[in-house]
Structure 1
Amino acid sequence: MEFRQLQYFVKVARKQHVTQAAEELHVAQSAVSRQIHQLEEELGVQLFVQKGRNLQLTSVGKLFLCRVEGILTDLERAVSEVHEFMDPEQGEIRIGFPHSLGIYLLPTVVARFRESHPKVKFKLRQGTFNSLIRDVMKGEIDLSFISPFPEKHSHVSGELLLQEELYAILPPGHALAGQEGIRLEQLRDESFVMFSEEYSLRNIVLEACTEAGFNPHIGFEGEETDTIRGLVAAGMGVSLLPEMALTEISQLQPMKVKVTDPRVTRSVGLIQRSGDKLPLVAEGFRKFLLEFFRVDEKKES
């Protein structure tokens, strides 16, 4: 069974006429008739019956048409995806990100990139540190923002993009809320609002508290920065959050205070599966991100 036979079959089924199908296919009528006859012989069934000047599908012909149309649609989609893979100006970029980067950083870089690449589509996947690495390893996403950046990993590789400072966030009426800066040790008696155990920001805060000489009392846990911010603003405790997670203004707004001792930071990087060649459109976005953050570093310096 040949691809050409399936194409001719579908065209005749749609036009219900060999001559009209041949005209649209730009081939001789005899060539279409021959291919249809060979297909029927190979299948051992009659696909068409003559009705006046037209051809009509038999019952088995209708069943076969349904399947063949699906196959040809999938094939056309596959060819289109291959072309998009090779075209840096269109196609789809599958990118992962932790929630804390979805508030400001991700929308900013995607919007900036699409200014010069308007045909490019993005498929976004939010996840935790471990789930994002797993998705990259399985090939379910091309690239992923990640924090902390894994300096050494046997299955993923990438580049460090930035180091971001974490700030203490306090309820608006807190005694330290008006300070220019505080030592983390000053929060030892507070109840902390923490991320759940699968989130990397939790470990960063716990390690910082240990360095400051205390184990924090955890009063509440959450899975999104908005939840953490809201609970702190409502007076349920204190926490530490990255600066980018504090850019959005909301009704329940905690107070942001710099932590001077110890200085708490997190690394943010971009990873891909080790040894894999990215689609051209994803490789273009990767290079854009590296330049974007280099430019930002120059502005800050």
Structure 2
Amino acid sequence: MEETRALIRRIRRMPAISLRDLGYFLAVAHSGHLSDSAATLGIPQPTLSRRIARLEEVLGAQLFERGGHQLRLNTRGEALIPAATAIIQQANLGFGQVHRLMDPERGTVRLDFMHSLGTWLVPELIRSYRSLHPQVEIQLHQGAAAHLIERVRAGLTDLALVGPKPDTELGWQQLRRQRLALALPEDHHLAHSTDPISLKEAAEEPFIGMLPGYGTRLLLDRLSAEAGFSPQLVFESMELTTVTGLVSAGLGVALLPLDDPYLAPTGIVLRPIDPPCYRELGLVWRRSEQEAPPVDMFRRFICA
């Protein structure tokens, strides 16, 4: 906070000089002639003369020695050259960056996603999009669903692929819907069938789950609470593939999505939850009247 106040104080002490006036000063400094500079800039010579005079008035010092039609930089003008040049260059660089970010074909999209989507959904979407728009920069970030939703809300990212659907004011588009199942070691006493099963039947079983805040963990917490029990967690992971592997090793049972293309259910039995429960996968974004064109185009591509 103190740093912000100090910056404000410095800004208030700065002279009210426009970038255009600095540009006019540099043009005259390089040519040494008002008439030549005015013709190059496409403005009347009296206008350019007034702008230079105004700059000198604001600074409280003459910058040129005048002789006839020529203007020669004095020591004060020479002292201003490096700073004025740096200011103009940095301003042009910043303007260029803003314009690039607003260019739908060359801008930047910040995309967050859950770990479990990094092996299939995210690569598929990026591969397809970059085949159509190869110069767009896509910045990626992985994390837990709850954390990613907060990042979108705080403006730290543009879009996030998460599940389940968040109970927030954010925009949401469902992309996939996976039925949930109870994953059991194949020698488990409940693994005699692949018929649907109530989650309550596993109330006394040790559970392998995702870490708090991760999408499938949010679903496990909600569904177990609805079934009237709190799961006994013997291990918590960041990866569904790890959860699947530990179930196959007989460490416990787990809540997993059916038909996930990268969860090879070797050594386990998947019994759909009854009544049917689903893992919704979708895209969230912050609603804005001024969404950047690259983000808007990418979002519309995903949601199509």
- Pair 39,164 (structure 1): closer, same or farther in 2 beyond 3 Å: same
Q: Residue 233 of structure 2 is aligned with which of 214, 218, 241? A: 218
Map Cα deviations across residues 80-109 of structure 1 (whole Å, 9 max, x no partner): 434x2xxx4342223332222222111111
Contact persistence 1:101–1:245 (CA under 8 A): no
- 1:98-247 to structure 2, matched below 5 A, reads 98-150=114-166, 153=168, 155-169=169-183, 175-176=187-188, 181=194, 183=197, 190-209=205-224, 215-229=230-244, 231-232=246-247, 236-242=251-257, 247=262
Residue 278 of structure 1 corresponds to 291
Deviation at 1:219?
Answer: 1.0
Asked whether the equivalents of residues 98 and 146 of structure 1 are also in contact (C-alpha less than 8 Å), the reply is: yes
Displacement of 1:194 after TM fit?
1.5
Measure the CA separation in 1 of the matches of 2:182 and 2:32: 76
Deviation at 1:218, TM superposition (A): 0.9
CA 31–264 in structure 1, closer or farther in 2 if over 3 Å, else same: same
The question of 1:42 aligning with 2:58 is answered yes
* Percent identical: 28
Structure 2 Cα separation of the partners of residues 179 and 12 of structure 1: 89
Shift of the 4–212 alpha-carbon distance from structure 1 to 2, 3 Å rule, reads closer
| Residues 1:46 and 1:70: Cα distance change in structure 2 (over 3 Å) | farther
1:257 corresponds in structure 2 to: 269
Go from structure 1 to structure 2 and tell me whether the alpha carbon gap of 1:3 and 1:219 turns closer, same or farther (over 3 Å shift). Answer: same
Would the aligned equivalents of 1:103 and 1:244 in 2 still touch at CA under 8 Å?
no
Distance 1:225 1:31 in 2: 73
Partner of 2:4: none
Equivalent in the alignment of 1:66:
86
Q: Structure 2 regions of 5+ residues with no counterpart? A: 1-16
Is the contact between residue 147 and residue 267 of structure 1 (CA under 8 Å) also seen in structure 2? yes
The alignment partner of 2:280 has SS state of: strand
Kept in 1: contact 2:180–2:273 (CA 8 A): no
Structure 1 distance, partners of 2:27, 2:194, is 74
Match of 1:181, SS state, is coil
Whole-Å separation in 2 of the counterparts to 1:187 and 1:24: 84
Is the contact made by 1:167 and 1:256 (CA closer than 8 Å) also made in structure 2?
A: no
CA distance in 1, matches of 2:224, 2:208: 13
Q: Decide whether aligned partners of structure 1 residues 131 and 9 sit closer, same or farther in structure 2, where only a CA change above 3 A counts.
A: farther
Change beyond 3 A, Cα 1:165–1:33:
same
State the alpha-carbon separation in 2 of the partners of residues 233 and 59 from structure 1. 74
Cα displacement (A) at 1:148: 1.0
Whether the aligned pair in 2 keeps the contact of 1:212 and 1:261 (CA below 8 Å) is no
State TM-score, norm by structure 2: 0.68
TM-score w.r.t. the length of structure 1 is: 0.68
Q: Aligned letter for 1:165?
A: R
Per-residue deviation, 1:231: 4.8
Between the aligned partners of 1:178 and 1:24, the Cα distance in structure 2 is 87
Q: Is this contact kept in 2: 1:167–1:243, CA < 8 A?
A: yes
Q: Larger radius of gyration, structure 1 or 2? A: 2
Return the letter of the residue paired with 1:158. Answer: W
